[in-house]
Structure formats: C-alpha cells, structure tokens
Amino acid sequence: MRNPILICLAYLLIYTGCHQAHHTQSEEATFSVTRPIQKDTLVYRDYVCQVRSSQHIELRALEKGYLQNIYVDEGQHVKKGQLMFRILPLIYQAEMQKAKAEVSFTEIEYQNTKNLADSNIVSSKELALAKAKLDKAEAELALAQAHLGFTEIRAPFDGIMNRFHVRLGSLIDEGELLTTLSDNSRMWVYFNVPEAEYLDYVLSKADGISLPAVKLQMANNQLFDQEGIIETIEADFNNETGNIAFRATFPNPRGILRHGETGNILMPVALKNAVIIPQKATFEILDRKYVFVIDESNTVQSRQITVDTELPHLYVVSEGLTTDDKILVEGLRKVKNNQKISYNLLIFGEILSGLNGMHAE
C-alpha cells in the first residue's frame, strides 16, 4: 500500500520545480531595444491664431436723414455696386431740382450775352462774367447730385453683410454705423511667434530651405482644406511678450472661414540632425520624461531626457540621448533600475513599421 504522505510530498516537489522553472523563464525574458536615429526632419509647431477677412470695413451714413429703404439682409452675399440702403432723399432731390433750374437760367443768360458779344454790343468782360455764372451753377448742380448720391449706400466690393446696427425708419446722423461688410474670398490669419522660432524660420529661408505651406487647424480640431502662405512679418517685436506677428493668407473658395474665427496655425520647421525616439520608449515621473538605457553590461539604467518636439508616435529629443545609446522600447513596466536583461537590438525602421504605417519625414 502506498504511503499518502509520500505521494503528497512528490506532488509538492513537482509543483515547486515547475514554479521555479517558470520563474526562471520570466527572469530570462528577452526585451526589444533600439538606438535613437539622427536625421534632418520637418516638424509642425502650432500657434494660436486669429482669422480676419482680407477686406473688412464699416459702412456709415454720409448724410443725415431717415432710413427709407433696406435692400439687403444680414448675412447676405452682395455684389460690388449693389444698392444696400437709401436715406430719405426728399431734401436733396429738391436741392438738385433747384440747381438744375439755376443751370438752365444761367445758360440762357450766357447764350444771350454771347450773341450780343458776337455783335459787338457788349464787351468781352460781360461775356466772361456770364460764363463764370454758368460754371458756378453747374458746380452747384454737381454738388447737389453728390449729396443726393450720398443718400444711397452701395457695396464697394463683393462681400457678406454683417448685422444691422439700424432699422428701417431710424433717424440717422451723418457718420453713423449702418453695418460692416467682409470680403471672405481670401482670409488673413495672424499669429505670434517667439523670437527664437522666428530666427529659425528666417534663417531657414535665408539658407534656401523650401518649407511647405502652413496649415490651419480650426476650432473643431479639423484641418482647413486649403493651405496658406506666410506673406508678411511685422517690423517690430512686442517687448512685453517677446513675440512678433506673422500673417498667412488662405484662399477660402467655399466660404467656410469667417471674420473673427480662431484656431491654430501649424507652421513647418526644419530641424537639422534631430535625435528621434519612439514615444512608447518613454515614461513619466512628476511630469518629467525618462527612458531606460542599457549599458555595456546589459544593465538597465533610467535617464531623464528633454523633449523638444512631439511628432506622431515619435519624440524629437534635445538633451539626454545620443545615437550610441541603446534604449528599451517594450516591457518598460517589467524592469527595474540596475536589472540585467537579455534583449534583441531592433533597427529603428522595424519599430516604425509597427506604428500604423507611420514614417518620419
């Protein structure tokens, strides 16, 4: 008869041996390691921006009177020369009729005087005086016509009407704001750039580096479907902020952008000899980023790094790493400082191929 105690001891030894073997296999796990790469690359830096119409003006009354007609509506597209408002023109019509009558009267006087002068009945001075009266009457007629024209407010260019500040029948003073008009076919986007990044930009252009157009990220986080060109940079830096204003121009064929919108400009910046690592090779402690570096004895050591720019799935590192370092890219939570590991050294491109087809520019 078999001893039950001996059987239990045998099972216990077998279990303990399997557990120890499994523990040994875990300690001997092989980790994936790679080296940072160094290359010229292109990154996009974002800046808060303000969107403005290329033409955005105030429409004001040129004469005093009652608002007689409104021919457009708020938000309406208008064409250049289109009649938008009319101020009650009765007084100015009467002035123009009076001026016309005065022109007719002085013209008759001038013709009579001219006939007499041709017959040497009156002197040439009297003829000149009659001509001067006619010229004065014609000038007063032109002035009356101008005053009458001021009662009609027409669009100076194609654009979109804004909110009305007056209503039909309102008594309007000379110079009173009626509405604003925006030409949104092209949009000017303003954003402020720090001095160091301004210098990077202008030096890149001076070196003949061709940079892509800027992009606009709208308030809904979507990219605007047109690209912009940086056309102007202000002359002076703001001494309080240390920034300088850039202006980019975007075509707006579908009229999506409107005056007063906000967003973010994505401006391309060329980086020379940038040190690049996968984002998944990093971990954070108190808002500082670290990586695990493997030394010559295959021992893991944590090292703080400074990230200059974030790319999709990648970081551009400005301090803490060189291309000679080996960094852990997988199993960061399974290792500790001063732990020896076994690893496979992967080519950086092999890691990128697994990041959704991502590639470095």
Instruction: Say whether pLDDT at 100 is over 80.
Output: yes
In the block, tokens 């061709």 appear at: 210
- The DSSP code for 241 is T
Instruction: Tell me how far apart the alpha carbons of residues 343 and 295 are, in angstroms, rounded to a whole number.
Output: 12
Q: Are 340 and 299 in contact (CB under 8 A)?
A: yes
Q: Which two tokens stand for residue 246?
A: 């850039």
Amino acid at 83: L
Question: How much of the chain, in percent, has pLDDT values that exceed 70?
Answer: 89
Phi-psi region for residue 313, left (φ > 0), alpha (ψ -120 to 50) or beta?
Answer: left
Nearest to 37 by CA among 250, 355, 292, 349: 349
Ranges assigned E (strand) in the chain: 30-34, 37-60, 65-70, 77-78, 83-87, 152-154, 159-161, 171-172, 177-194, 215-218, 229-233, 243-251, 262-278, 282-285, 288-294, 300-311, 314-319, 327-328, 342-346
Instruction: Tell me how far apart the alpha carbons of residues 152 and 251 are, in angstroms, rounded to a whole number.
Output: 32
Phi-psi region for residue 298, left (φ > 0), alpha (ψ -120 to 50) or beta?
Answer: left
Q: Which two tokens stand for residue 93?
A: 């019509």
Q: For residue range 218-276, list pLDDT tens digits in order.
A: 999 999 999 999 999 999 999 899 999 999 999 999 999 999 999 999 998 878 889 99
Q: For residue range 105-133, list pLDDT tens digits in order.
A: 888 888 888 887 777 877 878 878 888 88
Q: For residue range 160-202, list pLDDT tens digits in order.
A: 999 999 999 888 888 999 999 999 999 999 999 999 889 988 8
Global pTM reads 0.68
Instruction: Tell me how far apart the alpha carbons of residues 195 and 188 are, in angstroms, rounded to a whole number.
Output: 21
CA distances from 92 to 71, 83, 100, 190 (A): 20, 18, 12, 44
Q: How many CB atoms lie within 10 A of CB 164?
A: 18
CA angle 15, 17, 20 (to 5 degrees): 110
Instruction: Tell me how far apart the alpha carbons of residues 121 and 99 are, in angstroms, rounded to a whole number.
Output: 30
Instruction: Say whether pLDDT at 215 is over 90.
Output: yes
3-state secondary structure 306-318: EEEEEECCEEEEE
Dmax of the chain from CA atoms?
167
For 92-107, give one letter per residue: b (16+ CB within 10 A) or e. Answer: beebbeebbebbeebe
Q: Are 288 and 304 in contact (CB under 8 A)?
A: yes
Instruction: Say whether pLDDT at 18 is over 70.
Output: no
- Listing DSSP states for 106-171 in one string gives HHHHHHHHHHHHHTTSS-HHHHHHHHHHHHHHHHHHHHHHHHHHTTEEE-SSSEEE---SS-TT-E
CA distances from 231 to 182, 187, 238 (A): 20, 12, 19
Domains parsed from the chain with CATH numbers: 28-40+273-353 (2.40.420.20), 44-54+183-272 (2.40.30.170), 61-181 (2.40.50.100)
Q: Poorest-confidence range of 1-5, 85-89, 184-188, 297-301?
A: 1-5
Averaged pLDDT for residues 304-333: 91
Amino acid at 249: T
Q: Are 118 and 185 in contact (CB under 8 A)?
A: no
Instruction: Say whether pLDDT at 43 is over 60.
Output: yes
Pairing of strands 30-34, 342-346: parallel
